[in-house]
Structure 1
């Protein structure tokens, strides 16, 4: 087909520059979409590419489609601050609704033009001579792979938005590959399989298992949950958001802002409950959790003992559920606490030799959380692999930039996970911060110069020492429990020790002195005073003006809707 005359190049990477981009973002989940939007809103960069190995946006909410999959953070907090959703159907939204929201975000901000689906990053190498990243991409898909199977994409800045919960952790059980029934991971659910009247086994009892079990049990012939260690579980207290509430929140933004601020502050206040083992409120939360369990399982002291953790509340992720314990009390459900020895051709054998035949094995065993960016092979300055930099455990400058990795950024990186609040609050701070770094690099390139930014090694290590010291005083460090927050030797690589607001404040300023700067445009940054980039202020107390406006709006809406009709 011939090109039509007078065509003006679009503001994105096209055909002729297919292998050259200013910025490459790995992943089209919440983090990748937020980063792309900030590039559009805060920088002149339009020549960026989002590489997504799947066939749809959404990240974890596109991967995890298992029965009952839902968010464990209030829906009012689980949306981007600049694109809040007013009509969530529930306080804790389900996976399909969350995915619809992310598709809406990608469509509204016209991000699909920047995304290359079925594109997996195998490796990325920093080229010192050209001051660029050389990214190796494998192309999948029945049709896309017919054009090219792999290629190299060059960029001035590289951003990882793959997060911490993306690579499934399969259990290392002897015989699993020889099982003749159906096997699936919770993050790779096969909806073509009908579990009705089947004997089902769930290996694991974490967040996904708590959501899957209540959905499977009513239709299954029998369900067995294999528990390694019990978890602290508190009631979710989920509820439907009424149509009247949705109308109010949609028609009156101040009411929506006020609800979000109140919920955010409630979550921030709970930080001490999750992290401080000496908090007086921990005893109350512990008693509430145990009381709720016993209430859901009346007359079952055998299950009470098996479901009571013997480690500090908060060491592991505190789980929320309104129906898990009730499910374990069903006649067709068994809680198995004996250790699994192996998988046979027809079932699961425990260490005492007992074998239970099953038709379906669900591996609800989580993700490879401490292996950030795995299996992508990243090589930085002087040919140093990222694996080498992180030999003692992953660390980064506030989780966003890494020593020996020039012009490289991360979202939801090391020590940025939260145990008490919405991760979106962290992601937005990271995206805003990285866009400030990228802006400088892009402007230098547009002027025919080069700019290379890399956090100083001594700064990163000093900061990480401070973070690790703080973490040792938290419940996360309890040596009596294992969690996905830490490595095998006990180093906590995933969690942030403070509140979300504290983190936002730390990233509200770019301290250029914390970076080693090089390139022909180095003098535009070196020696500069810190740059204040600000942050999104949403926590309570919001401004008195917003509070008054929100309260007045709610009163006016209520009056016109109800009282004026009297």
Structure 2
């Protein structure tokens, strides 16, 4: 087996394969393991899923320092998983192409060819930064970088900073930038719904109890899962239930933001959940600092020394930070994947990515995608979804043959999925990274996570053609 990507998905599957004695190689293009938690080192980077759930059930950790772990601690956890299980990933090894030939997968990598019976793409959805198409962006003469490629050598103290984007990353780093920069202009395309982040540091007594009584951690994990899972009722079944959270945010704005014009700018024009809801307790205070301005006029152009908005206003900047997210709907790109009879994945996904249960694609035998199409969540932990996928893939391996999902199976699954998607809040008409440019929903799972686990409990061989 060849696993491409050493983030949560690749590492978790590799651990289970190692324990089962199944030969495999774990490849990653980066200099270290961790995936998104290796790449996103911006100030304030942290998870928005509570730590007990954002970890493997088969690699428990009882000494998380906080309720919501930061980037460094999550990366430390993943490194510990690799070391404790004796994994030996091949780093700095980019997979440029993969082709299914003569019943096997042949990979072209920067470190030489790799041949495997089974290919697992664990590239994730949040690994390719999205660079906005802004006129004149290339002419900017100051320091410019994307939040996922943070320039730690650039001191922000005394700088005039422009931040483009107000998504999940910007919500976290803007308060840190605001505390150092002389001037900060935050350019917002659309406002986001904010949800309080009940973060806290675990005290010594709490850590001792968790270490002495692992059952407490198990109970915390279960209760946290159930609380988060209950939100799916609003996201996928009854969007009207989310109105209570919208009302709470409106009250919060009135209570915490004195300026009525700023309150107006911060009130979304779409239903909560249609775009990603964001957790933060320090973003609103940061925007009210005297050195910060929230700009909602569209950007007309970027000049060598600043930004011009559609109303003609020029704002000087010597630092430009792109908090514009990722190309989440492109999945395995830029890796060139060729399946049976020369079929490329680009062609197979020309109308938007789709896969049976988010993992298998017709025309690509013995290939599995972790965190693939329609397996993202708006309410719970992706790690839970990944563990469901691990079990499914291990079940497929037990057949010992070459499995290819049937076209009719894939079509029926995705037809049903898109029909269910129409009832969700993600289909409320807003433009988000959950969908392709033409509006196809390719990212999120339109249901409960326990329903996905049940659906992936074991592979149904009637869904596949099986060759010895």
2:108 corresponds, among 132, 136, 139, to: 136
Partner of 2:97: 123
Q: C-alpha distance in 1, partners of 2:418/2:239? A: 18
Partner of 2:360: 401
2:308 corresponds, among 322, 336, 349, to: 349
Which is worse superposed, 84-93 or 404-413?
84-93
2:71 corresponds, among 95, 115, 118, to: 95
Report matched runs for 1:28-47 at 5 Å. 28-42=6-20, 44-46=21-23
Report matched runs for 1:38-437 at 5 Å. 38-42=16-20, 44-46=21-23, 48-111=24-87, 113=88, 115-127=89-101, 129=102, 131-139=103-111, 151-279=112-240, 281-297=241-257, 299-437=258-396
Query: Does the aligned pair in 1 maintain the 2:364–2:404 contact within 8 Å?
Result: yes
Query: Does the aligned pair in 1 maintain the 2:395–2:458 contact within 8 Å?
Result: no
Query: Does the aligned pair in 2 maintain the 1:238–1:322 contact within 8 Å?
Result: no
Partner of 1:524: none
1:104-134, Cα deviation, whole Å (9 max, x unpaired):
00101111x2x1110001110110x3x1011
Q: Which runs of 5+ in 2 are unaligned?
A: none
Query: Does the aligned pair in 1 maintain the 2:239–2:424 contact within 8 Å?
Result: no
Query: Does the aligned pair in 1 maintain the 2:5–2:121 contact within 8 Å?
Result: yes
SS at match of 2:321: strand
Report matched runs for 1:480-559 at 5 Å. 481-518=430-467, 521=468
1:61-81, Cα deviation, whole Å (9 max, x unpaired):
000000100000011111100
Query: Does the aligned pair in 2 maintain the 1:45–1:439 contact within 8 Å?
Result: no
Query: Does the aligned pair in 1 maintain the 2:66–2:202 contact within 8 Å?
Result: yes
Query: Does the aligned pair in 2 maintain the 1:467–1:497 contact within 8 Å?
Result: yes
Deviation at 1:51, TM superposition (A): 1.0
Deviation at 1:438, TM superposition (A): 2.5
Deviation at 1:187, TM superposition (A): 0.4
Partner of 1:447: none
Q: Which runs of 5+ in 1 are unaligned?
A: 1-22, 140-150, 442-450, 522-566
SS at match of 1:159: strand
Q: C-alpha distance in 2, partners of 1:278/1:214? A: 31
Deviation at 1:323, TM superposition (A): 0.6
Report matched runs for 1:11-26 at 5 Å. 23-26=1-4
Deviation at 1:186, TM superposition (A): 0.5
Q: C-alpha distance in 2, partners of 1:117/1:40? A: 18
1:27-64, Cα deviation, whole Å (9 max, x unpaired):
0000000110121234x412x11111111111000000
1:289-313, Cα deviation, whole Å (9 max, x unpaired):
121222221x211011111111111
Q: C-alpha distance in 1, partners of 2:179/2:351? A: 46
Larger Rg, first or second structure (1 or 2): 1
Deviation at 1:85, TM superposition (A): 1.2
Deviation at 1:275, TM superposition (A): 3.2
SS at match of 1:125: strand
Q: C-alpha distance in 1, partners of 2:431/2:239? A: 20
Q: C-alpha distance in 1, partners of 2:233/2:290? A: 39
Partner of 1:469: 419
Deviation at 1:277, TM superposition (A): 5.0
Query: Does the aligned pair in 1 maintain the 2:236–2:425 contact within 8 Å?
Result: yes
Deviation at 1:419, TM superposition (A): 0.3
SS at match of 2:141: coil
Query: Does the aligned pair in 2 maintain the 1:61–1:98 contact within 8 Å?
Result: yes
Q: C-alpha distance in 2, partners of 1:68/1:276? A: 33
SS at match of 2:99: strand
TM-score by length of 1: 0.81
CA separation of 1:228/1:476 partners in 2, compared to 1, >3 Å: closer, same or farther? same
Deviation at 1:439, TM superposition (A): 3.6
Misfit runs of 4+, over 6 Å = none
Which is worse superposed, 83-92 or 257-266?
83-92
